């Protein structure tokens, strides 16, 4: 069976070291190159959709998480408090929202600022039990593609609809095949904020959007965030386990806790709502899924190495290599060993293209491209080959 942990080792994508600890994967150069390409794509998608990116620290004073509600409702999933001195205690953050609420609060806001879309691909930490950790799918250090859209309640439906559209677009580019949509609702017990009218209102907004978009979905009780219901986009891994990748959540609770407000067009002070959303989920869970669904053969645009250049005999390939790198391609030269073994090795590492350059090709400035599925293209002029590769490297 396909297992991202095994493929991750074979393809040198990531590494888990017992000295660092379980659930704390290290992204090796090949995995990091693929992740970087995906991060760039997502940031650009967000930038074009009117998001503004921020950076915030992975820890904060405990008071921040008391105010946000994480310590009262979510402490079981958090690492223990770090005590520097009696009045100086810190927590590793289990979510980014509290910092983004501080971004909203960092100056006065008016209705003209809304929707204010604050995005960050940031680190957060969950105290998962060591027994459940494995590869990239369950980790303690999580890098989440996150954003919080602060808006007026009557803007929330349109905002959520636009987010669902972004999710569809990103999934198509990445090769994600969603298994279904889930409306995740509250359960009973102290885990959830006790405010039934608030939950009813938020649920109604999410249901309206799903209905208006004609999305079929299942409902699941006891799967909401502690502060509000959510629309989850589910995927199924190679072992048949269902998990949430993308999510959109509607929150009336944290705006209240942080006393967030803006001035409306009539000069009245109003409370915004927060739409929490992740287009592609955490980098760890996303790649656990992508490695399996593509069997390591990522689409060209986020393949760790996109082009392997294979010189035959004593030919100079430096010019072509430099031109490929200049054109933005992740290229490398493999000169050692027989041509057959190098072609096989590149295919085994799922490199999308190998460029074979022998004495004849070198003499008339041509290259022969081979694809990882075994197909070989006729020799073509080097600039033409680069053009083809560059266009294939677009998401």
* Distance (Å, whole) CA 122 – CA 148: 13
Q: How is 31-96 classified by DSSP, letter by letter?
A: HHHHHHHHHHHHHHHHHHTT-EE----SEEEHHHHHHHTHHHHHGGGSPPPEEEETTEEEEE-S-S
Q: Is 112 exposed, middle or buried (0-12, 13-18, 19+ CB in 10 A)?
A: exposed
* CB closer to Zn ion out of 275 and 300: 275
Query: Shortest gap between Cβ of 257 and Zn ion (angstroms)?
Result: 13
* CB closer to Zn ion out of 140 and 276: 276
* Distance (Å, whole) CA 229 – CA 187: 10
> Which are the contacts of 48, defined by CB distance < 8 A and separation ≥ 6?
none
Query: Shortest gap between Cβ of 251 and Zn ion (angstroms)?
Result: 7
Strand order in the sheet with 353-357: 331-333, 307-311, 353-357, 366-371, 380-381
* Distance (Å, whole) CA 45 – CA 42: 5
Query: Shortest gap between Cβ of 81 and Zn ion (angstroms)?
Result: 21
Q: Which residue is nearest to Zn ion (CB)?
A: 97
What is the gyration radius of the CA atoms in the chain, in angstroms? 24
Please give the residue ranges that form the binding site for Zn ion (CB under 5 A).
97, 276
* CB closer to Zn ion out of 206 and 331: 206
Q: Which two tokens stand for residue 346?
A: 């590149």
Query: Shortest gap between Cβ of 118 and Zn ion (angstroms)?
Result: 10
Query: Shortest gap between Cβ of 141 and Zn ion (angstroms)?
Result: 17
Query: Shortest gap between Cβ of 90 and Zn ion (angstroms)?
Result: 20
* Distance (Å, whole) CA 170 – CA 156: 21
Pairing of strands 116-125, 52-53: parallel
Beta strands in 186-229 (DSSP E): 217-220
Query: Shortest gap between Cβ of 19 and Zn ion (angstroms)?
Result: 32
* CB closer to Zn ion out of 159 and 292: 159
* CB closer to Zn ion out of 8 and 98: 98
* Distance (Å, whole) CA 16 – CA 100: 31
* CB closer to Zn ion out of 97 and 283: 97
Contact 352, 391 (CB under 8 A): no
* Distance (Å, whole) CA 135 – CA 4: 7
* CB closer to Zn ion out of 97 and 235: 97
Query: Shortest gap between Cβ of 89 and Zn ion (angstroms)?
Result: 22
* CB closer to Zn ion out of 16 and 247: 247
Task: For residue 226, give the 3-state DSSP assignment.
Answer: coil
* CB closer to Zn ion out of 148 and 350: 148
Query: Shortest gap between Cβ of 60 and Zn ion (angstroms)?
Result: 14
């Amino acid at each position: 069976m396909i297992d991202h942990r095994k493929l991750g080792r074979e393809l040198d994508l990531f590494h888990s070291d017992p000295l660092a600890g379980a659930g704390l994967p290290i992204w090796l150069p090949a995995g990091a190159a693929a992740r970087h390409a995906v991060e760039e794509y997502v940031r650009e998608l967000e930038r074009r959709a009117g998001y503004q990116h921020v950076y915030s620290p992975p820890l904060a004073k405990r008071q921040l998480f008391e105010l946000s509600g994480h310590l009262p409702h979510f402490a079981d999933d958090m690492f223990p408090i770090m005590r520097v001195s009696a009045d100086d205690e810190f927590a590793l953050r289990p979510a980014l929202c509290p910092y983004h609420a501080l971004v909203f609060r960092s100056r006065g806001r008016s209705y003209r600022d809304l929707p204010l879309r604050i995005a960050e691909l940031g680190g957060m930490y969950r105290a998962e039990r060591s027994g459940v950790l494995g590869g990239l799918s369950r980790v303690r250090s999580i890098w989440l593609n996150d954003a919080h859209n602060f808006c007026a309640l009557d803007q929330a439906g349109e905002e959520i609809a636009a987010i669902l559209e972004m999710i569809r677009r990103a999934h198509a580019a990445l090769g994600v095949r969603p298994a279904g949509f889930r409306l995740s609702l509250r359960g009973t017990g102290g885990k959830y904020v006790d405010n039934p009218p608030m939950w009813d209102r938020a649920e109604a907004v999410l249901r309206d959007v799903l209905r208006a978009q004609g999305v079929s979905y299942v409902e699941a009780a006891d799967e909401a965030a502690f502060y509000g219901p959510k629309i989850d986009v589910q995927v199924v891994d190679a072992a048949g386990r269902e998990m949430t990748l993308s999510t959109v959540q509607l929150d009336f609770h944290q705006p209240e806790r942080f006393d967030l407000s803006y001035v409306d067009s009539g000069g009245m002070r109003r409370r915004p709502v927060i739409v929490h959303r992740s287009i592609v989920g955490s980098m760890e869970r996303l790649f656990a899924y992508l490695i399996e669904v593509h069997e390591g053969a990522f689409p060209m645009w986020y393949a760790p190495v996109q082009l392997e250049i294979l010189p035959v005999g004593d030919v100079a390939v430096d010019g072509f290599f430099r031109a490929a790198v200049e054109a933005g391609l992740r290229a490398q030269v493999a000169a050692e060993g027989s041509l057959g073994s190098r072609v096989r090795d590149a295919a085994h590492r799922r490199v999308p293209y190998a460029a074979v350059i022998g004495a004849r090709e070198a003499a008339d400035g041509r290259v022969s491209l081979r694809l990882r599925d075994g197909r070989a293209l006729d020799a073509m002029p080097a600039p033409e080959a680069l053009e083809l590769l560059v266009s294939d490297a677009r998401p």
